[in-house]
Amino acid sequence: MPGSAGVRLGGFMHPSHPLAACGAALFLISATQLAQARELVGFSDPYPNGTVVVKTSERALYYVLGNGKAVRYPVGVGRAGKQWAGTATINGKQLSPAWSPPEDVKRDKPSLPNVIPGGSASNPMGAAAMTLSGGGEYAIHGTNNPGSIGGFVSYGCIRMYNPDVLDLYNRVSWGTTVVVTR
Protein backbone atom coordinates (compact mmCIF):
# COMPACT_ATOMS: atom_id res chain seq x y z
CA MET A 1 0.00 0.00 0.00
CA PRO A 2 1.51 3.41 -0.94
CA GLY A 3 2.66 5.42 2.05
CA SER A 4 2.37 2.60 4.53
CA ALA A 5 6.11 2.88 5.11
CA GLY A 6 5.77 6.25 6.81
CA VAL A 7 4.28 9.70 6.92
CA ARG A 8 5.73 12.95 5.65
CA LEU A 9 5.20 15.82 8.05
CA GLY A 10 7.40 18.88 8.24
CA GLY A 11 9.31 17.77 5.17
CA PHE A 12 10.58 14.48 6.64
CA MET A 13 9.41 10.92 6.09
CA HIS A 14 9.22 8.88 9.26
CA PRO A 15 8.99 5.11 9.21
CA SER A 16 5.97 3.63 10.84
CA HIS A 17 6.49 1.14 13.61
CA PRO A 18 4.35 -2.00 13.74
CA LEU A 19 4.08 -1.85 17.52
CA ALA A 20 3.05 1.80 17.42
CA ALA A 21 0.37 0.96 14.87
CA CYS A 22 -0.87 -1.88 17.08
CA GLY A 23 -1.01 0.48 20.05
CA ALA A 24 -2.98 2.99 18.00
CA ALA A 25 -5.31 0.22 16.83
CA LEU A 26 -5.97 -0.78 20.44
CA PHE A 27 -6.61 2.88 21.21
CA LEU A 28 -9.06 2.92 18.29
CA ILE A 29 -11.04 0.08 19.84
CA SER A 30 -11.16 1.72 23.28
CA ALA A 31 -11.89 5.16 21.79
CA THR A 32 -15.18 3.92 20.37
CA GLN A 33 -16.39 3.41 23.91
CA LEU A 34 -15.77 7.07 24.91
CA ALA A 35 -18.21 9.95 24.62
CA GLN A 36 -17.65 11.63 21.27
CA ALA A 37 -17.63 15.30 20.31
CA ARG A 38 -18.79 14.53 16.77
CA GLU A 39 -22.43 14.74 15.80
CA LEU A 40 -24.70 14.07 12.83
CA VAL A 41 -26.01 17.39 11.47
CA GLY A 42 -27.94 18.81 8.54
CA PHE A 43 -25.61 19.97 5.76
CA SER A 44 -26.85 21.70 2.62
CA ASP A 45 -23.54 22.83 1.04
CA PRO A 46 -23.13 21.38 -2.47
CA TYR A 47 -20.23 18.97 -1.90
CA PRO A 48 -20.23 15.32 -3.00
CA ASN A 49 -20.53 12.46 -0.52
CA GLY A 50 -17.21 11.64 1.11
CA THR A 51 -15.81 15.18 0.90
CA VAL A 52 -14.13 16.66 3.98
CA VAL A 53 -15.05 20.33 4.46
CA VAL A 54 -13.23 22.45 7.06
CA LYS A 55 -14.94 25.72 7.93
CA THR A 56 -12.19 27.68 9.65
CA SER A 57 -14.50 30.43 10.93
CA GLU A 58 -16.68 27.80 12.64
CA ARG A 59 -13.71 25.71 13.79
CA ALA A 60 -15.59 22.71 12.47
CA LEU A 61 -14.81 19.86 10.08
CA TYR A 62 -17.65 18.20 8.18
CA TYR A 63 -17.56 14.77 6.59
CA VAL A 64 -20.28 14.89 3.94
CA LEU A 65 -22.61 11.86 4.03
CA GLY A 66 -25.09 13.05 1.39
CA ASN A 67 -28.86 13.40 1.57
CA GLY A 68 -28.41 16.71 3.42
CA LYS A 69 -26.36 15.16 6.26
CA ALA A 70 -22.78 15.35 7.50
CA VAL A 71 -20.77 14.35 10.53
CA ARG A 72 -19.51 17.50 12.27
CA TYR A 73 -16.36 17.46 14.37
CA PRO A 74 -14.98 20.35 16.44
CA VAL A 75 -11.42 21.23 15.42
CA GLY A 76 -8.53 23.55 16.16
CA VAL A 77 -7.39 25.55 13.12
CA GLY A 78 -4.61 27.88 12.02
CA ARG A 79 -3.85 30.91 14.14
CA ALA A 80 -3.77 34.43 12.65
CA GLY A 81 -1.32 34.55 9.77
CA LYS A 82 -1.18 30.74 9.51
CA GLN A 83 -4.64 30.04 8.09
CA TRP A 84 -5.12 28.90 4.54
CA ALA A 85 -8.02 28.09 2.28
CA GLY A 86 -8.26 25.88 -0.76
CA THR A 87 -8.70 22.34 -1.96
CA ALA A 88 -6.34 19.44 -1.29
CA THR A 89 -6.51 15.66 -1.20
CA ILE A 90 -5.51 13.18 1.45
CA ASN A 91 -2.20 11.79 0.24
CA GLY A 92 -1.14 9.82 3.32
CA LYS A 93 -2.59 8.15 6.41
CA GLN A 94 -0.64 7.12 9.47
CA LEU A 95 -1.50 5.82 12.92
CA SER A 96 0.68 7.15 15.75
CA PRO A 97 3.00 9.12 13.44
CA ALA A 98 6.39 10.50 14.37
CA TRP A 99 6.68 14.27 13.77
CA SER A 100 9.40 16.69 12.72
CA PRO A 101 8.65 20.36 13.25
CA PRO A 102 8.50 22.32 9.97
CA GLU A 103 11.02 25.16 9.59
CA ASP A 104 8.64 27.92 10.74
CA VAL A 105 7.70 25.97 13.89
CA LYS A 106 11.37 25.18 14.63
CA ARG A 107 12.25 28.88 14.11
CA ASP A 108 9.60 29.91 16.68
CA LYS A 109 10.41 27.05 19.07
CA PRO A 110 14.11 26.18 18.62
CA SER A 111 14.14 23.95 21.71
CA LEU A 112 11.90 21.37 19.98
CA PRO A 113 13.71 18.15 19.06
CA ASN A 114 14.17 17.38 15.38
CA VAL A 115 11.88 14.33 15.66
CA ILE A 116 9.24 13.47 18.25
CA PRO A 117 8.44 9.74 18.18
CA GLY A 118 4.92 8.52 17.49
CA GLY A 119 3.03 7.68 20.66
CA SER A 120 4.99 10.21 22.75
CA ALA A 121 2.87 12.42 25.01
CA SER A 122 4.72 15.44 23.57
CA ASN A 123 3.92 14.50 19.96
CA PRO A 124 1.39 17.02 18.59
CA MET A 125 0.07 14.57 15.96
CA GLY A 126 -1.89 12.53 18.49
CA ALA A 127 -3.37 9.16 17.53
CA ALA A 128 -3.42 9.57 13.73
CA ALA A 129 -2.64 11.93 10.88
CA MET A 130 -3.87 12.32 7.33
CA THR A 131 -1.43 14.37 5.27
CA LEU A 132 -2.71 16.77 2.65
CA SER A 133 -1.38 17.30 -0.87
CA GLY A 134 0.61 20.45 -1.42
CA GLY A 135 4.05 19.86 0.03
CA GLY A 136 3.67 17.84 3.21
CA GLU A 137 3.34 20.80 5.58
CA TYR A 138 -0.33 20.36 6.50
CA ALA A 139 -2.32 17.50 7.95
CA ILE A 140 -5.55 16.68 9.68
CA HIS A 141 -4.38 15.09 12.91
CA GLY A 142 -5.20 14.24 16.49
CA THR A 143 -3.80 16.07 19.47
CA ASN A 144 -2.43 15.33 22.90
CA ASN A 145 -3.67 18.79 23.94
CA PRO A 146 -7.49 18.47 23.85
CA GLY A 147 -7.87 21.99 25.29
CA SER A 148 -6.70 23.37 21.93
CA ILE A 149 -9.77 22.08 20.08
CA GLY A 150 -12.09 24.92 19.17
CA GLY A 151 -9.32 27.51 18.95
CA PHE A 152 -7.13 29.27 16.42
CA VAL A 153 -4.02 27.41 17.54
CA SER A 154 -1.99 25.73 14.82
CA TYR A 155 0.49 26.56 12.07
CA GLY A 156 -2.15 25.60 9.51
CA CYS A 157 -2.93 22.00 10.40
CA ILE A 158 -6.41 20.88 11.44
CA ARG A 159 -6.45 19.39 14.97
CA MET A 160 -9.06 16.94 16.20
CA TYR A 161 -9.77 15.07 19.41
CA ASN A 162 -8.00 11.69 19.20
CA PRO A 163 -11.23 9.60 19.16
CA ASP A 164 -12.62 11.86 16.43
CA VAL A 165 -9.50 11.73 14.25
CA LEU A 166 -9.60 7.94 14.47
CA ASP A 167 -13.26 7.97 13.42
CA LEU A 168 -12.49 10.21 10.42
CA TYR A 169 -9.37 8.13 9.61
CA ASN A 170 -11.63 5.09 9.18
CA ARG A 171 -14.10 7.00 6.96
CA VAL A 172 -11.65 8.51 4.45
CA SER A 173 -9.21 7.05 1.96
CA TRP A 174 -6.30 8.21 -0.12
CA GLY A 175 -7.48 10.79 -2.62
CA THR A 176 -10.40 12.06 -0.51
CA THR A 177 -11.05 15.71 -1.34
CA VAL A 178 -10.53 18.20 1.48
CA VAL A 179 -11.94 21.73 1.10
CA VAL A 180 -10.80 24.38 3.59
CA THR A 181 -12.81 27.62 3.73
CA ARG A 182 -12.35 30.64 5.91
List 14, 17, 22, 141, catalytic entry: 141
- What's the rounded Cα separation, in Å, for the pair 132 and 129? 10
Degrees, nearest 5: CA angle 145-92-79: 40
Whether residue 22 lies in the annotated active site: no
Annotated catalytic residue within 14, 17, 22, 157 = 157
Rounded to an integer, what is the distance from CA 132 to the centroid of its chain?
9
Q: Which one, of 102, 124, 122, 126, lies nearest residue 114 by Cα?
A: 102
115 alpha-carbon distance from chain centroid: 18
Residue 141 appears among annotated catalytic residues: yes
- Nearby residues of 21 by Cβ (< 8 Å), 6 or more positions away: 95, 96
Catalytic center residues: 141, 157
